[in-house]
Amino acid sequence: MHDAAHGVTLDEIYHARARIKGQVSRTPLWHSRALSERFAAEVYLKLENLQPTGAFKLRGVTNMIAALIERHGHDALAKGVTTASTGNHGRAVAYAASRLGVPAVICLSTLVPANKVAAIEALGATVTRIGQSQDDAFEEARRLVKEEGMTLIPPFDDPLIASGQGTIGLELLEDQPDLDRVILGLSGGGLLGGTGAALKAIRPQLNVTGVSLSAGAAMFESLTAGHPVAVEEVESLGDSLGGGIGLDNRCTFALVRDVMDDHFQVSESAIANAMIDMLEQEKMLVEGAAVVGLAALEEHQIDIKGQKVALVLSGNGVSLETLDQARQLAKR
């Protein structure tokens, strides 16, 4: 499991936890009575939507920036930081940069919703809108690194990023040591890969379940092909799960391949139903990407009877406009 090809080990995840302590929230694991009754299981919700930036991404970003300063000093970031993002990662980079007083340029495709753009700009970062996909936005970020000397903080494909996200796995098993299954959204693979690495190292028998969108599922398509492939990015209620994994992926492809046990794809209507369920039943307004675990349980009738299951609610970056779209699409 601790494949040198991806560089994410339990030791690295513990190092990440030490680096991010005090800067990132240790989020609650909330027992859902309604979902437990519905699925005849013990269902828990890992509330990453309660992070200061509203999503889990702050873990990986904080770990990477702290590690860079640890290794090279503050001068390493003197010319600023940049990244490409579907929204939540960009917000995390902007937040961390603002706290350090370094400039940040966040490159976003035109598919990123306006509310996520506004949240990034509110933190003082410069936003550049470019292209129709995260891959297009990444080209601009790479140009800024090459020509302006900025430091790239990748959204997922780096051992420091994935190890930061892996701290979720440590917290899950501290709060519920005998979990049977953890269900997570799958996009670039930082969240599932890092968290899965921690979970599998500590509790190998635990089932790690990934959930992707029904279209544009880059990591799943790549795993099926046996190598990274490009997919067309599409608009979705689960927009945070859009984007490619990079044809030169060096970390998360191998990591997800090692730690994921099974995988499901979910439709837009299933995501819509789950978003409305989460609001009505749990009184939580979360984004589409955060509810794909619940969407998969419903749409695919996954049998979790009698199990202890955790769903990772990855973020809260949803606008009222998107919520309205979900409400109209939900089968009520």
> Is 314 annotated as catalytic?
yes
Q: Are 276 and 327 in contact (CB under 8 A)?
A: yes
For residue 313, which amino acid is it? Answer: L
Q: What is the 3-state secondary structure (H, E, C) of 264-287?
A: EEECHHHHHHHHHHHHHHHCCCCC
Strand order in the sheet with 207-213: 29-31, 42-47, 308-313, 181-185, 207-213, 262-266
Rounded to the nearest 10 degrees, the angle between the axes of helix 57-72 and helix 10-20 is 90
Contacts of 192 (CB under 8 A, 6+ apart): 184, 185, 186, 208, 210, 256, 259, 260
Q: Kindly name the residue from 32, 109, 222, 314 that is annotated as catalytic.
A: 314
For residue 89, which amino acid is it? Answer: H
DSSP string, 203-239: -TTSEEEEEEESS--HHHHHHHHTS---------TTG
Q: Can you list the positions of beta strands (E) in the chain?
A: 29-31, 42-47, 81-85, 104-108, 126-129, 151-152, 181-185, 207-213, 262-266, 308-313
Q: Kindly name the residue from 46, 57, 116, 308 that is annotated as catalytic.
A: 57
Strand order in the sheet with 81-85: 126-129, 104-108, 81-85, 151-152
> Is 146 annotated as catalytic?
no
C-alpha distance from residue 27 to each of 18, 39, 235, 268, 314 (Å)? 16, 24, 29, 28, 11
The pair of structure tokens assigned to 188 is: 């670039």
Return the active site residues: 57, 314
